[in-house]
Amino acid sequence: MLAYIIRRVAQSILVLFVVGLVAFSMFRFVGDPIDNMLGQERTQADIERLREQLGLDQPFVVQYWRFLEQAVQGNFGLSYRQGRPVSEILIERLPATLELAFVSGLMALAGGIALGIFTAIRRRGLSANIIMTASLIGVSLPTFLIGILLIYLFSVELGWLPSFGRGEVTDLGWWTTGFLTESGLKALILPAITLGLYQMTLIMRLVRTEMLEVLRMDYIRFARARGIRERAINFRHALKNTLVPVITITGLQLGSIIAFAIITETVFQWPGVGLLFINAIQFVDIPVMAAYLMLISVMFVGINLIVDMLYFAIDPRLRADRTQGGH
Amino acid sequence: MSDTPAPAPQSRLRRAWNSDFAWSFRHAPVAIISSFVVLVLILAAVLAPLIAPHDPFNPATLNLMNGFTPPGQANAFTGDTFLLGTDDQGRDVFSTILYGMRISLFVGFAAVMLAMVIGVTLGLLAGYLGGWVESIIMRVADVQLTFPAILVAMLIFGIAKGITPPEYRDQMAIWVLILAIGLSDWVQFARVVRGATLVEKSKEYVQAARLIGRSPFAIMLRHILPNVLNPVLVIATISLALAIIAEATLSFLGVGAPPTKPSLGTLIRIGQEFMFSGEWWILFFPALALLALALSINLLGDWLRDALNPRLR
Amino acid sequence: MTDTPVLSVRDLVVEIPTRHGVLRPVDNVSYDIHAGEILGVVGESGAGKSMTGNAVIGLLDRPARIVSGEILLSGQPIQGLKRDAIRKLRGKKMGMIFQDPLTSLNPLLTVGDQLTETILEHLKVGQTEARKRAIAALEEVGIPAAAQRINSYPHEFSGGMRQRVVIALALCAEPDLVIADEPTTALDVSVQAQIVALLKRLCRERGVAVMLVTHDMGVIAEAADRVAVMYAGRLAELGPVREVLTQARHPYTAGLMASTPLASQGRKRLRQIPGSMPRLGALPTGCAFHPRCEFAQDKCRQEPGPTLDRCDGRAACWFPLTAKQEVSA
């Protein structure tokens, strides 16, 4: 098991190296950093000095290594657009995104698993079929349309909930939260639903498929043949086996919530890192793009690792001392 | 060998009509309706220059006085009527939707073609050659799969935008979009094709072809490729819906088709501004068109997956 | 015998509606099994053996369904009972053993969990008593160090040991009837004999009625008291195992015997039955076996084969073999 964990960690570090390479290449080759940092009035001497200062005269590998060194310390330089350190901007914006992702992730997970089980058990029922059809519409409905629809209903027509921003936030020094004020919570509802709905449909469909697959297994038939009641078969025998494969994909889904937050944040003008990233692309603000990429990769890789560890907790076959393949 | 009498000879058409595939199509109203909708929408998009009552991108035909005409009503100043109303600049919404759908569909199809060509080629190579070729291809696929496709597409779009000189950006946007979405979506194809290739490779007919000295490329093209077409078709259909949604999303976020060449996503982005002031039709109709397009393609893909290969996941 | 049979199947018909018409995987099947008796059910795959077992225990997969006939459990008909009432009979009155011990056990629950769960469901005992009984059940099927092994997960057992666990599970709520569906097919040859012996011992000791479904004539010869031969959904022959094995009356049984290597038969040359069993959707007219039967006559080609109770009660054949007739090469 230890060997397995070490291998997974090594793999994760490798992924981060590759992403770092992409981020670094963006810095180095997309637009000229010198151009971007010096204004119109510049002398050849200025350029040379800055080139040396930034280490652009060094070999590629050395530059890459220095970039990684800086990145590990959270130093991504200055935003081209705002002129402030990128790390500072990111830290300021991160709580908004994390709070949004947390709430919608929770919603997607709870709703998705519950509905998935329901539609699998009541496979032929009318309500299950209605939910399945609705979910197909949900998958086809782009996230931003859901957001617009919700804004139209609850902000424009009914006027119940705010259509943009985060409401009133409380500053805890190192974190700003919208959980503590009424307007903050109200502002969270629509974005959270928008972000969570798509993931919820995906998780629901996945849970349903897996559960139907499990319900066809011999050990379920055998449990039926022993007269175990339906409730125990569904929730004790089938659910646990369903959740093993679901955990991996769901874990990755939750990771992508952070990425999909970009869309939701744009629709609701939610002041998080996603909105920051989209603005960075529009204005070709390379340092912000690179830093966002690195940040989100660390999160994804972290989530992947946690998911793998969870596997061990649930599946006794993996806990056995013979190490098995990582799938 | 069975003793049942040989069935009476049938025409090719009759056989196709009676095949399992056609049978399940005829018995799936959802598939019939959605393929009808898809066909109508594609035709409307392709024939846009012929059908559209106005040319929304010819400034000469535009009249700013026609701005904000509600659907079906006569404009207060000019007396013109428009089926689905006009936007702020007096452009006919129905016509912009037809042209927008043209761009959406073009980007979608082109991106899927790109993804398919890359994915099928790499998948065949990985599956057939194995060894380090396979390792590298599948590693790259794994790393890319760690990130959602839409994020990869955004990133590629951002980088490409950085590389293109500002004066060409609007012109290149459509091609950059195709590149971004295509490159973000090849992994699915590669994985499935590699899996299927591994299966086919071990079969006797491929072994036989190898023994008689057919070149690996001939074997891949003539023997293996036809056998992986079914799953590829299914993935392509589902990918098309995803690509259209991805394009719309990027354009909506302002990192896609520019307002000078608006796709459905761009139109929705423009329409959103007028949601609060009551001009709902500028937003509503493009959104409806996008939904109809994405939903019907998705439904078709869903049915296709069940009909061609119930075990494909 | 005066006592009522544990299981009585009367004129059972199971049908599956399909796109190409209605199939009848089980067609007019009748038999009894008494307490302490093992009835072997043999036939090629697709002959309806397993389907009969599934119908009895009420686990037919949709769209298969029982359309007529009766199933009596200790004289009580079970059709018409509520679903929950039938569920309570499963495990308590009738148990089932599946073919593949690898897939029959839930991989994420310990063996003890699965045993105590079943015991608590059917017997009025407490948690500690259930656990005690679970250990006893494991001991009875020959699991060494049962008290420790009860906390193991299925993957920690070998194939043969797992099948013993499956048997313990099927028997732990003390049912009167056990349906064993190919219990030895997935096992190593060396383990097969042990499992058969175990089943036989449990049947004798506890007086359980066993329906042993298999395609292996060797298993039948070793374990069964009586044997039912099925062909294309129908019973072809039913009788005491020794008589059927040595003096088959139905040509199909005779062919089956001639094609099976049995130690007791000595070194006769093995033969095969020409052709293969027809698919259910394409049954020939007349007796389903006539295209492969070397004794077939016009009547066989025109009239459906007789059911058992309409002929001599042993072979469902218009022209059953007599002692003198032998299947020729």
What residue spans define the domains of chain A? Answer: 86-292
**pLDDT tens for residues C119-139?**
999 988 999 999 999 999 999
Residue A257 Cα, gap to closest chain C Cα (Å) = 30
At B3 the pLDDT is: 46
pLDDT at B310 over 50: no
Judged against a pLDDT cut of 60, whether residue A210 lies above it is answered with: yes
Sign of the CA dihedral with B2 first, then B7, B11, and B13 last: negative
Burial of B80 from C-beta contacts in 10 A (0-12 / 13-18 / 19+): middle
B249 touching chain A per CB within 8 A: yes
pLDDT in tens, C265-281: 555 667 777 777 878 77
Q: Between the ranges A282-286, B88-92, B182-186, B211-215, where is the mean pLDDT highest? A: B182-186
In chain A, which residues touch C (CB < 8 A)?
217-219, 221-230, 232, 236-237, 240-241, 244, 314-317, 320
Which among B110, B69, B94 has a CA at the least distance from the CA of B236?
B110
Q: Are the CB atoms for A193 and A160 separated by under 8 Å?
A: no
The region of weakest confidence among A52-66, B246-260, B262-276, B294-308 is A52-66
Question: Average pLDDT of chain C?
Answer: 84
Q: What is the pLDDT of residues C211-254, one digit of tens each?
A: 999 888 888 888 899 999 988 888 888 888 888 888 888 888 88
| CB contact set of A15 (below 8 Å; sequence gap of 6+) | A297, A301, B143, B146
Among the listed residues A256, A215, A245, the one whose alpha carbon sits nearest the alpha carbon of residue A311? A245
For chain C, domains (ranges, CATH) are 7-234 (3.40.50.300)
pLDDT at residue number A34: 63
pLDDT at B1: 40
Tell me the fold of B24-55+83-312: MetI-like fold (1.10.3720)
Chain CA centroid to CA B222, Å:
27
Q: What is the mean pLDDT of the segment spanning A283-312?
A: 82
Count of A–C CB contacts within 8 Å? 82
Axis crossing angle, helix B186-201 with helix B169-184, rounded to the nearest 10: 40
Strand partners, C181: C213
Query: Does the structure show a pLDDT above 80 at B82?
Result: no
B30 touches chain A (CB under 8 A): no
What is the least distance, in Å, from the CA of A114 to any CA of chain C? Answer: 21
Confidence of residue A111 (pLDDT cuts 50, 70, 90): very high
What is the rounded average pLDDT of the residues C52-65? 87
Q: Give the model's confidence band at B112: pLDDT under 50 very low, under 70 low, under 90 confident, else very high.
A: very high
Residue of B nearest to C277 (CA): B2
Q: Within chain C, what is the greatest distance between any pair of CA atoms?
A: 67
Tell me the CA distances in angstroms from B165 to B173, B262, C321, one per residue in order: 12, 21, 95
Question: Do B161 and A280 lie within an 8 Å CB cutoff?
Answer: no
Nearest CA of chain B to the CA of A106: how many Å?
19
Q: Do A227 and C169 touch (CB under 8 A)?
A: no
Tally of CB atoms within 10 A around B235: 26
Per CB-CB distance under 8 Å, the chain C contacts of A225 are: 57, 59, 90-91, 95-96, 98, 170
Task: Check the CA dihedral B165-B168-B169-B172 and report its sign.
Answer: negative
pLDDT of residue B279: 78
What residue spans of chain A are helical by DSSP H?
A: 2-29, 33-37, 44-54, 60-72, 86-121, 126-140, 143-150, 182-215, 218-225, 230-232, 239-267, 273-282, 286-314, 316-319
Task: Name the neighbours of A, counting chains with at least 3 Cβ pairs within 8 A.
Answer: B, C
Average pLDDT for residues B284-297, to the nearest whole number?
89
Query: Residue C263: its pLDDT value, please?
Result: 53
* CB-CB contact of A87 with A76 (8 Å): yes
The arithmetic mean of pLDDT across residues C145-168, rounded, is 90
Which of B147, B181, B237, B279 to mutate to probe the A interface, most A CBs <10 Å? Answer: B147
Give me chain A's average pLDDT, please.
Answer: 81
The predicted-structure confidence for B145-186, as pLDDT tens digits, reads as follows 777 888 888 888 888 877 777 777 777 888 888 988 998 889
Q: Which tens digits make up the pLDDT trace of C70-89? A: 899 888 888 878 888 888 88
* Top mean-pLDDT range of A66-80, B299-313, C189-203: C189-203
% pLDDT > 90, chain B: 9
List chain B residues with CB under 8 Å of A263: 150, 249, 252-253
pLDDT of amino acid C27 = 87
Has residue B10 got a pLDDT over 60?
no
Q: Select the more confidently predicted residue: A317 or B180.
A: B180
pLDDT beyond 70 at B7: no
Hey, are the CB atoms on B275 and A156 less than 8 Å from each other?
A: yes
Q: What is the rounded CA–CA span in Å between residue B38 and residue B51? A: 17
Distance CA B244, CA B257 (A): 12
Q: How far is CA C264 from the centre of its chain?
A: 23
For residue A91, give the amino acid letter.
I
Q: What is the pLDDT, as a whole number, of residue C218?
A: 85
**Residue among A15, A26, A286 whose CB faces B146 most closely:** A15
Top-confidence residue, A229 or B72: A229
Instruction: Say which range, C167-176, C198-207, C288-297, has the weakest mean pLDDT.
Output: C288-297
Cis geometry, peptide bond prior to residue B165 (ω within 30 degrees of 0):
no
Q: Kindly give the interhelix angle for B93-129 and B131-145, rounded to the nearest 10 degrees.
A: 140
B136 touching chain A per CB within 8 A: no
Query: What's C278's DSSP letter?
Result: P
- Element at B193 (helix H, strand E): helix B186-201
C182 exposed, middle or buried (CB, 10 Å; 0-12, 13-18, 19+)? buried
At residue C111, the pLDDT reads 92
User: According to the model, what pLDDT value does residue B27 have?
Assistant: 76
CB atoms within 10 A of CB B36: 11
**pLDDT the model gives residue B63:** 67
Kindly list the residues from chain C whose CB atom is less than 8 angstroms away from the CB atom of residue A224.
59, 87, 90
**Residue B35, phi then psi, degrees to nearest 5:** -70, -30
Query: What mean pLDDT is predicted for residues C305-309?
Result: 73
CATH topology of domain A86-292: MetI-like fold (1.10.3720)
Q: What is the predicted ipTM?
A: 0.85
pLDDT the model gives residue B105: 92
> Percentage helix, strand, coil, to 5, in chain C?
40, 20, 40
